[in-house]
Amino acid sequence: MNDITARPLAHIMQEVVKQPVVVQNKPGGTGAVGTAFVASHKSDAHHILVTTPNLYLVVEKNKLLGEPSPYSLDQIEPLALMSADPLIMVVQSESPYKSVKELAGAVKKSGTMAYSSSGPYGILHVPIEMFLQAAGAKMRHVPTTGGGPALLQILGGHVQMSAGGPAAVHPHIKSGKLRPLASWGAKRIPTLPDVPTLNELGYKAEAYLWVGLFTPAGVPEPAMKALREVVGKSAQNAQFVAAMKNVNSTVDYRDTPEFKKFFDEDYARLSQAVKRIGKVEAK
């Protein structure tokens, strides 16, 4: 979602500021390489990080495992939230499970059922474990190298459940290959009005595949104010909204104060979940 969001946003921002806005991908380490790159440019308003919850999940994983992190969260500052799409739980359309209750019941009886994720302690692994803990159930974790490979596992019938954001799973739901059972949102997804949230089903589990913008720490207030104005104008541009809608993602722009509140609440939920998961080995 980083690149999918960054490119149309950069195009609009470029039109607003009348100068080049370049998207530079820095893959590696579940986003850690790109984050460390931006974090190293202290006080520089010309470097903006586009990232997801993996921003803090990397830090929490490293804390848990006693490994060094390539950056600390105090090296960056929230700028704006672009989207906050709830994750969606999916099973194969041929699956006998038509509800979360049926799936949870089968998991408890089986003891051998599995789910796929984008990798250990990532944005799919942690929320799925939040659900399983709330359901009092256990499944075998099949980590992969990303959201796409995780979906391939469920599409190929190698696991019984997986999850993804609307941009990833919507095409497979529409084609009839996957069945959505629930979402991790606080409210139902408008494009899937018949799919309940886990919270309304009695499972305390809320998580989003959000995309936000961050600056290096120490950016002077006048520069930060100018950035907020540019980003705010760009995020609400009709072309950007349409571009995100085309990939089944809804723009949920929130300026710095609102984004900080959202970030702190999201961080608190998922960091606690990482601690509850504890040290695990992929099976």
pLDDT of the residue at 283? 46
Sequence ranges of the domains in the chain: 2-84+207-277, 88-183
Contact (CB, 8 A) for 240 and 12: yes
- 88-183 fold: D-Maltodextrin-Binding Protein; domain 2 (3.40.190)
Contact (CB, 8 A) for 170 and 247: no
pLDDT of the residue at 182? 98
- Spatial distance between the Cα atoms of 105 and 193, rounded to a whole number of angstroms: 24
- Spatial distance between the Cα atoms of 174 and 57, rounded to a whole number of angstroms: 31
Which helix or strand (DSSP H or E) is residue 177 part of? none
Q: Do domains 2-84+207-277 and 88-183 have the same CATH topology?
A: yes
CATH (residue range 2-84+207-277): 3.40.190.150
Contact (CB, 8 A) for 75 and 42: yes
Q: Tell me the pLDDT of the chain (283 aa) as tens digits.
A: 899 999 999 999 999 999 999 999 988 888 899 999 999 999 999 999 999 999 999 999 999 999 999 999 999 999 999 999 999 999 999 999 999 999 999 999 998 999 999 999 999 999 999 999 999 999 999 999 999 999 999 999 999 999 999 999 999 999 999 999 999 999 999 999 999 999 999 999 999 999 999 999 999 999 999 999 999 999 999 999 999 999 999 999 999 999 999 999 999 999 999 999 999 864 4
pLDDT of the residue at 272? 96
Tokens 């970030």 map to which residue? 263
Per-residue burial over 122-140, b = 16 or more CB atoms within 10 Å of its CB, e = otherwise: bbbbbbbbbbbbbbebebe
pLDDT of the residue at 281? 64
Q: Which of 103, 164, 98, 179 is nearest to 139 (CA)?
A: 103
Which helix or strand (DSSP H or E) is residue 80 part of? strand 76-86
- In single-letter form, the type of residue at position 240 comes to F
pLDDT tens string 153-181: 999 999 999 999 999 999 999 999 999 99
pLDDT tens string 213-256: 999 999 999 999 999 999 999 999 999 999 999 999 999 999 99
Q: Residue 102's Cα: distance from chain center in Å?
A: 26
What residues form DSSP beta bridges with 254? Answer: 81
